[in-house]
Amino acid sequence: MRSWITDAPIDPTAVLDEVGSPADGAVLLFLGTVREENEGRAVSGMRYDAYVAMAEQVLGEIATEAAQQLGTERVAVVHRIGDLAIGDVSVALAVSAPHREPVFIAGRYLIEEIKRRLPVWKHEYYVEGESRWLAGTVPPGHA
Amino acid sequence: MRIRVLLFALYRDLAGGRSELQLDVRDGSDAGAAIAELRAQSERFALLPERPVVAVNREYAGLDAVLRDGDELALLPPVAGG
């Protein structure tokens, strides 16, 4: 199991290499990428800010929970911070298990919990020149 | 006692770009009281919400979490990772 925050470009193959085993017949890789449009506005790029020390801790907790659902320790998840361009990978996760059902469940759990709990924020830059912090989610139990 | 306050993203911008500061608060203060103290310090800090999501020493916490000398109190805007 491995989880980390990085300010360097993410290599999906390296994330995939963290999981897999001769015992596994199912490997899932999910990538989140920066989209060229949001709410009808043309996006030029994105800056991710994070409370890095806490994000590393929370991402580790999420990975541990996902491993419990997966039934294996073969979980790898990374979130990028800093300045990203359209198409850049902002988050990558890989999981593997003997059969397919738990990899989809655990993969879905990882990305949904990242969105709910990881202390990371997006500043979106628009083609016409403006920028703004994107409205986020209040973590559960803190409304 | 003295605590360390961390501000991120929108809250950092509201506070004029300050990301970190030391704050003196009365012994036994909870997170909510520390935020009230911070908001009273300047017009900029008054722009921060009265009841933000907070973390104490890198763990999500309630505003009733009692602080100790040297604690790290982070004010967290709604999160938007992924």
The domain that holds B61 is classified in CATH as 3.10.20.30
**Helix (H/G/I), strand (E/B), else coil: B36:** helix
Task: Give the rounded percent of residues in chain A with a pLDDT score beyond 90.
Answer: 93
Q: Answer whether residue B19 is part of any domain.
A: yes
Domain count, chain A: 1
For residues B3 and A125, give the distance between their C-alpha atoms in angstroms, rounded to a whole number: 34
B63 contacts chain A (CB < 8 A): no
Taking the C-alpha atoms of residue B25 and residue B34, their distance in angstroms, rounded to an integer, is 6
Nearest-angstrom CA–CA distance, B27 and A128? 50
Q: What CATH number has the domain bearing residue A13?
A: 3.90.1170.40
Q: B interface mutation test: which of A54, A90, A111 has the most B CBs within 10 A?
A: A54
Q: Are A15 and A76 in contact (CB under 8 A)?
A: yes
Interatomic CA distance for residues A82 and A90, integer angstroms: 10
Cα distance between residue B34 and residue B5, in whole Å: 9
Q: Which residue has the tokens 């890989």?
A: A94
Q: Are A48 and B79 in contact (CB under 8 A)?
A: no
Strands B2-7 and B72-76 come out as parallel
Instruction: Please check the confidence at residue B52 and state whether its pLDDT lies above 60.
Output: yes
Per-residue pLDDT tens digits for A41-60:
999 999 999 999 999 999 99
**Is residue A87 packed enough to be buried (19+ CB in 10 Å), middle (13-18) or exposed (0-12)?**
exposed
B82 in a structural domain = no
Q: How confident is the model at residue B56 (pLDDT cuts 50, 70, 90)?
A: very high
- Identify whether B81 is part of a domain: no
Task: For residues A92-113, give the mean pLDDT.
Answer: 98
Residues in B touching A142 (Cβ below 8 Å) = 53, 60, 62
User: Which residues in B lie closer than 8 A to residue A115 (C-beta atoms)?
Assistant: 79-82
Q: Look over chain A and give the mean of its residue pLDDT values, rounded to a whole number.
A: 96
Nearest-CB residue to B74 (from A48, A54, A79): A54
* Residue A143 lies inside a defined structural domain of this protein: no
Please give the C-alpha separations between residue A99 and each of A20, A64, A102, A111, in angstroms, as whole numbers: 12, 19, 7, 20
Which residue range forms the structural domain that includes residue B60?
A: 2-76
Task: Record the tokens describing residue A82, joined without a space.
Answer: 């800093």
Residue B67 lies in a domain: yes
Instruction: Flag whether the pTM goes above 0.90.
Output: yes
Q: Which residues of B touch A141 (CB under 8 A)?
A: 60
Residues B12, B14, B20, B24, CA torsion sign: negative
Between CA A84 and CA A79, with CA A7 as vertex, the angle to 5 degrees is 80
- Residue B16, Ramachandran bin (φ over 0: left; ψ between -120 and 50: alpha; else beta): left
Q: Is B17 on the interface with A (CB under 8 A)?
A: no
Domain enclosing residue A60, as ranges = 2-132
Looking at beta carbons, which residues of chain B come within 8 Å of A51? 6, 8, 55, 58, 74, 76
A84 band by pLDDT with thresholds 50, 70 and 90: very high
What is the rounded distance in angstroms from the CA atom of residue B37 to the CA atom of residue B34? 5
Q: Given an 8 Å threshold on Cβ–Cβ distance, is A49 in contact with B9? A: yes
Query: Would you call B19 an interface residue with chain A, using a CB distance cutoff of 8 Å?
Result: no
Number of domains in chain B: 1
Asked if B1 has any chain A CB less than 8 Å from its own CB, the reply is no
